[in-house]
C-alpha cells in the first residue's frame, strides 16, 4: 500500500519533469494510434473499393479461369449456365468475358486482358456506361494507370489484336472513349474494357463468359455445373497478402515511433534514477529493502505510462474522433503508393490497436525504469548514499 502512495507522491512532487515526460509519451501514443489508424483505414478503403468496382458480392469463375495464369485464359470461357443467366437477367449478377490480347499504342506492343462487360450493368462501380456508343464506333475503356503506361488519351484510336475461340488472331482499331480514374489496380493495369456483346462476337464466344460477378447483397448461390463460386475472402486474399507485406513496413514505423518515445523516457528515467542514487540510499537507511526500492522506482516509472495514457486520452480521443469523421484529403502523389486509395481517407482505429499500444508503452516504461533501478539498488547503502554517478 505504501509503495503506490509514495510512487504517486514522488511523481507528482517532481512536477514539471514528470509532466514533460508524460506529454512526450502521450504524444507518442497519439501519433502511433493515429498513423496506424490511417494505415488500417487505407487498407479498409482499398478493400471496399475493390469490392465496389470489381469483386461485387463474389464471383462465379468458369472452372478453368485463373487470372494469375494468362495461358489458361484460352480455355477459360463457357456458355453461362441457366442458373446464372437468370440472375443476370434479374440484375443480380453480371457476366464478364476475358480474352487475351495486345494493344499497339504508337507502334509499341502492350499485352492486355480484353474484358467484355455489359455497358448497362450497375452492379459494379466500374463506369461501363461509357461503352454505350453507336454501332459505328468501337469503344474501349481504360484506367488512368493504363493510360499512363500506354500513352493513350480519350479520343485516341489504337489497334487491338486478340485471339478468338479457334485460336486465330485478328485485329481492329478501337477508340478510347474514357480514361477512368480508379483506385483499384486490378481493373486498370493491363486491362481494356469493351462491350460484352462485341467481344463475344469478335472472339466467337457467343453467350459465353469467363466469370460472373454476383451483386453485393445477393444471397443466392445457385448450382452452376462447370463453374466455381469464389467468395470475397478468396477474392480479397491477394489484397490481404499485399496488406500483410505492407504491414511489415508499418510495423517498422510503429516500432521506430515507440523507440523514439522510449528514448525520451529512457533518457530522463535513467538520468533521474542515477541522479536519485542518494535518495535511494536514504530510503535504504530508513529501512527500505532493495525489493521495495526497486518496486517504488519501477512503479514510479510505469506510472508515467499510465499518466501518459490518461493525458493521451484527454486530447487524443477528441482529435482522433474528429479526424476519423473528417477524413483526410490525400495529396495526388499518394497514388503512387500503388495501392487503392480513395480521394479521402478515413482512419480506422481498432480496439486491438489501442490496447496493444497502451500495453506496449506500459511494459516498456516499466522495463526502462526497472533496469537502472535494479542496478543502483544492488549497491551497498553507503555507496548509494554517497550519491555520485559511477
Partner 1 sequence: MENSYLIETRDLVKTYPMGEHTIVALDKVNLKFEKAEFTGLVGPSGSGKTTLLNIIGSLDSPTSGSAVVMGRKVEGLSHKQASALRNHHIGFIFQTFNLLPVYTVFENVEFPLLLLDYSAAERRKMTMVALDWVGLADRTRSKPAQLSGGQSQRVAIARAVVKKPALILADEPTANLDAENSHHILQTMERLNRDLGTTFVFATHDEKVIDYLRRKITLFDGAVAKDERMEPQRPGGEKR
Task: Tell me if 382 contacts partner 1 by CB under 8 A.
Answer: yes
Q: Which of 8, 10, 19, 247 forms a contact with partner 1 (CB under 8 A)?
A: 10
Burial of 371 (0-12, 13-18, 19+ CB in 10 A): middle
Q: Which of 223, 286, 322, 336 forms a contact with partner 1 (CB under 8 A)?
A: 286
**In 10 A of CB 242, how many CB atoms?**
16
Shortest distance (Å) from residue 383 CB to partner 1: 9
Burial of 83 (0-12, 13-18, 19+ CB in 10 A): middle
Task: Tell me if 72 contacts partner 1 by CB under 8 A.
Answer: no
Catalogue the E-assigned strands of 54-156. 59-62, 78-79, 93-104, 110-117, 139-143
Task: Tell me if 4 contacts partner 1 by CB under 8 A.
Answer: no
Shortest distance (Å) from residue 377 CB to partner 1: 10
Contacting range for partner 1; rule: CB under 8 A; set: 11-19, 115-123, 259-267, 353-361: 11-19
CB nearer to partner 1: pick between 217 and 287 = 287
CA atoms within 13 A on the CB side of 4: 2
Shortest distance (Å) from residue 384 CB to partner 1: 9
Cβ neighbors of 282 (< 8 A, separation 6 or more) are: 385
Report DSSP state, residue 192: E
CA atoms within 13 A on the CB side of 283: 24
Task: Tell me if 20 contacts partner 1 by CB under 8 A.
Answer: no
Shortest distance (Å) from residue 307 CB to partner 1: 15
Q: Are 327 and 44 in contact (CB under 8 A)?
A: no
Strand, helix or coil for residue 65? coil
Task: Tell me if 208 contacts partner 1 by CB under 8 A.
Answer: no
Q: Are 213 and 123 in contact (CB under 8 A)?
A: yes
CB nearer to partner 1: pick between 161 and 290 = 290
Task: Tell me if 285 contacts partner 1 by CB under 8 A.
Answer: yes
Q: Which of 67, 127, 327, 381 forms a contact with partner 1 (CB under 8 A)?
A: 381
CB nearer to partner 1: pick between 73 and 377 = 377
- The site map against partner 1 for 341-360 (x = CB under 8 A) is --------------------
- Residues binding partner 1 (CB under 8 A): 2, 5-6, 9-10, 13-15, 278-279, 281-282, 284-290, 380-382, 385
Amino acid at each position: 500500500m505504501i509503495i503506490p502512495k509514495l510512487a504517486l507522491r514522488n511523481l507528482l512532487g517532481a512536477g514539471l519533469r514528470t509532466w514533460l515526460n508524460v506529454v512526450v509519451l502521450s504524444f507518442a501514443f497519439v501519433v502511433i494510434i493515429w498513423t496506424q489508424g490511417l494505415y488500417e483505414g487505407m487498407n479498409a478503403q482499398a478493400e471496399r473499393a475493390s469490392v465496389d468496382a470489381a469483386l461485387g458480392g463474389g464471383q462465379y469463375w468458369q472452372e478453368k479461369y485463373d487470372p494469375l495464369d494468362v495461358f489458361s485464359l484460352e480455355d477459360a470461357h463457357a456458355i453461362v449456365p441457366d442458373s446464372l443467366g437468370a440472375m443476370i437477367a434479374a440484375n443480380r449478377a453480371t457476366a464478364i468475358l476475358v480474352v487475351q490480347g495486345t494493344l499497339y499504342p504508337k507502334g509499341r506492343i502492350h499485352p492486355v486482358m480484353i474484358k467484355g462487360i455489359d455497358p448497362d450493368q450497375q452492379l459494379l462501380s466500374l463506369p461501363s456506361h461509357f461503352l454505350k456508343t453507336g454501332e459505328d464506333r468501337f469503344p474501349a475503356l481504360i484506367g488512368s494507370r493504363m493510360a499512363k503506361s500506354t500513352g493513350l488519351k480519350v479520343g485516341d484510336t489504337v489497334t487491338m489484336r486478340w485471339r478468338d475461340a479457334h485460336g486465330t488472331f485478328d485485329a481492329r482499331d478501337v477508340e478510347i472513349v474514357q480514361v477512368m480514374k480508379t483506385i483499384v489496380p486490378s481493373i486498370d493495369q493491363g486491362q481494356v474494357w469493351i462491350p460484352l456483346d462485341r467481344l463475344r462476337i469478335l472472339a466467337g464466344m457467343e453467350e459465353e463468359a469467363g466469370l460472373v460477378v454476383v451483386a453485393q447483397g445477393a444471397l443466392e448461390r445457385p448450382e452452376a455445373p462447370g463453374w466455381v463460386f469464389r467468395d470475397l475472402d478468396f477474392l480479397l486474399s491477394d489484397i490481404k497478402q499485399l496488406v500483410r507485406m505492407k504491414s511489415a513496413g508499418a510495423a517498422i514505423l510503429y516500432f521506430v515511433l515507440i523507440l523514439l518515445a522510449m528514448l525520451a523516457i529512457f533518457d530522463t528515467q535513467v538520468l533521474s534514477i542515477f541522479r536519485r542514487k542518494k535518495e535511494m540510499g536514504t530510503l535504504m537507511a530508513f529501512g527500505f529493502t532493495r525489493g521495495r526500492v526497486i518496486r517504488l522506482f519501477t512503479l514510479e516509472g510505469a506510472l508515467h505510462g499510465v499518466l501518459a495514457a490518461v493525458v493521451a486520452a484527454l486530447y487524443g480521443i477528441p482529435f482522433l474522433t474528429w479526424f476519423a469523421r473528417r477524413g483526410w484529403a490525400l495529396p495526388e502523389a499518394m497514388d503512387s503508393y500503388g495501392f487503392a486509395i480513395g480521394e479521402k481517407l478515413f482512419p480506422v482505429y481498432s480496439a486491438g490497436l489501442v490496447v496493444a499500444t497502451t500495453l506496449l508503452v506500459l511494459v516498456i516504461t516499466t522495463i526502462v525504469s526497472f533496469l537502472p533501478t535494479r542496478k543502483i539498488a544492488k549497491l551497498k547503502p553507503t555507496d548509494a548514499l554517497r550519491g555520485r554517478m559511477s
